[in-house]
Amino acid sequence: MSDRKPDYDLIVFGATGFVGRILCGYLLNQKVDSSVKWAVAGRSQAKLETLVAELGARADGPPYLTADATDEASLRELCAQTRVIISTVGPYALYGELLVQVCAETGTDYCDLTGEPQWVRQMLERYQAAAQSSGARIVHCCGFDSVPSDLGVYYLQQQAQQQLGEYCDRIKMRVRAAKGGVSGGTVASGINIIQEARLSSRLRQELNNPYSLCPDNSSTVTHPPTLVPVQYDLDFQEWVSPFVMAAINTRIVLRSNALLGYSYGKRFQYEEAVLTGSSVKGWLAAKGLSAALTGLTVATAFSATRRLLENTIIPKQGEGPSQASQEQGFYDLRFWGVTASGKTIEVKVLGDRDPGYGSTAKILGQAGLCMAQDFAKSDKPGGFWTPASMFGNRLIERLVKAAGLTFER
């Protein structure tokens, strides 16, 4: 670790990307300059100058710094100038490792919006010891995947303890409704996972293990599949279909339980799915969504069909919806839990922007601010944390106050 005093509290790396630009605009609108000294960073000086000029049209634009995700020296210089880095540079499995390594080695706190479980596992294995030694707090998955799920479970468990006197040992999350597109970066990350899995039997085995991100990488409890098949959910009295984000969200929630000292219990189970309705139409919708997900997975596994999709329906990286479309987006997530004694409880998490862009940018921004403002190095030791185990109620409070989320029974 360097003895040099950082110039900034927070740097947004990848600021000129689509989510990065939304994030910077959000920080500016929040007027964080009065309490946090922040800057933007990226590879292209010209794009950074354009971004700062655009931001400066509304107020004083933030300072900018240049750094390349593949250039270790530039990343070390970047880390020397800040206490916290927010990274939006993905797919992280392709472009994210070097920055995580440098942050772990220099004691620089870090958060991102990855949804790539195989990459998160690799980072844990390679840099956990360095982060613990340097004091760097590394928090992956600070966007729509997996903050609403992770903190939704955390919130439900607190309510269960207060109202029922015990934690739930089984929780379901169901997507009641959502509007908004998936980001090009998310799609690119998903395609990369599929391509890696085709070439690695070890990765295929890992992706079948819901406990792959837990410290001991296993459990004596048999956990349901992370992708729930089409079925009728008796607790919600509706048909359900697989939820694509369940693969990462389930693993983060299970890791949070482990990092919180298994406060949810050693036998805790969690699953996610999409509600499609109670009638025959609901069954047909569930079957259709499941078939579409399977078809997309198969199509992206082969180069010819993948290129066709990339040239037609899949959004490109750096592209995204208009401001108006983001503002028209939303999501409604319902959580249902049952205790060992059979008592049940329900809560919901609502978001006021599209999940893939507008809400993700606000969530990520508040995670970075929470790390910069609310947690001294003495409050949490270095290592790889999850949103719930690192931030807990402090981030819930921030999201409710300034990011358009609602947590309620």
Q: Which of 355, 370, 400 is the last residue of a domain?
A: 355
Do the beta carbons of residue 40 and residue 66 sit within 8 Å?
Answer: no
Q: Which of 125-139, 169-183, 282-296, 305-319 has the highest mean pLDDT?
A: 125-139
Q: Confirm whether 1 is domain-assigned.
A: no
pTM over 0.85: yes
227 or 194: which carries more pLDDT confidence? 227
Q: What percent of the chain has pLDDT over 90?
A: 72
Q: What percent of the chain has pLDDT over 70?
A: 86
Q: How many CA atoms lie within 13 A of 402 on its CB side?
A: 20
Q: Confirm whether 232 is domain-assigned.
A: yes
DSSP strand pairing (109-112 vs 82-87): parallel
CA-based angle 276:354:55, to the nearest 5? 175
Q: Give residue 57's pLDDT band: very low, low, confident or very high (50, 70, 90).
A: low
Q: Are residues 173 and 113 in the same domain?
A: no
Q: Which of 365, 372, 363, 371 is nearest to 396 (CA)?
A: 363
pLDDT at 327: 86
Number of domains in the chain: 2
Q: Confirm whether 33 is domain-assigned.
A: yes
Q: Would you say residue 149 has pLDDT above 80?
A: yes
Sheet of 137-139, strand order: 64-66, 38-42, 8-13, 82-87, 109-112, 137-139, 383-385
Query: pLDDT tens for residues 333-381?
Result: 999 999 999 999 999 999 999 998 999 999 999 999 999 999 999 999 9
Q: Are residues 154 and 21 in the same domain?
A: no
Q: Are residues 350 and 365 in the same domain?
A: no
Containing 87, the helix (H) or strand (E) segment is strand 82-87
Q: Confirm whether 3 is domain-assigned.
A: no
Q: Which of 407, 358, 405 is nearest to 179 (CA)?
A: 358
Residue 199: domain span: 147-355
Most distant CA pair in the chain, distance: 65
Q: Confirm whether 2 is domain-assigned.
A: no
The arithmetic mean of pLDDT across residues 380-404, rounded, is: 98
Q: Are residues 54 and 155 in the same domain?
A: no
Q: Are residues 136 and 236 in the same domain?
A: no
- Map tokens 């409880």 to a residue: 345
Q: Are residues 207 and 139 in the same domain?
A: no
Q: Are residues 205 and 344 in the same domain?
A: yes
Q: Which of 333, 355, 377 is the last residue of a domain?
A: 355
Do the beta carbons of residue 345 and residue 165 sit within 8 Å?
Answer: no
Report the chain's mean pLDDT, rounded to a whole number.
90
Q: Would you say residue 37 has pLDDT above 90?
A: yes
Q: Are residues 191 and 235 in the same domain?
A: yes
Q: Give residue 329's pLDDT band: very low, low, confident or very high (50, 70, 90).
A: very high
Q: Confirm whether 318 is domain-assigned.
A: yes
Q: Is 180 exposed, middle or buried (0-12, 13-18, 19+ CB in 10 A)?
A: buried
Q: Are residues 220 and 351 in the same domain?
A: yes
Q: Are residues 169 and 291 in the same domain?
A: yes
Q: Are residues 265 and 314 in the same domain?
A: yes
Query: pLDDT tens for residues 82-110?
Result: 999 999 998 899 999 999 999 999 999 99
Q: Which of 355, 381, 396 is the last residue of a domain?
A: 355
Q: Are residues 214 and 240 in the same domain?
A: yes
Q: Confirm whether 98 is domain-assigned.
A: yes
Q: Which of 122, 129, 109 is nearest to 391 (CA)?
A: 109
**CATH number for 39:** 3.40.50.720
Query: pLDDT tens for residues 294-319?
Result: 777 666 666 666 666 566 656 666 67
pLDDT at 176: 97
Q: Confirm whether 251 is domain-assigned.
A: yes
d(CA 30, CA 398): 12
d(CA 313, CA 191): 14
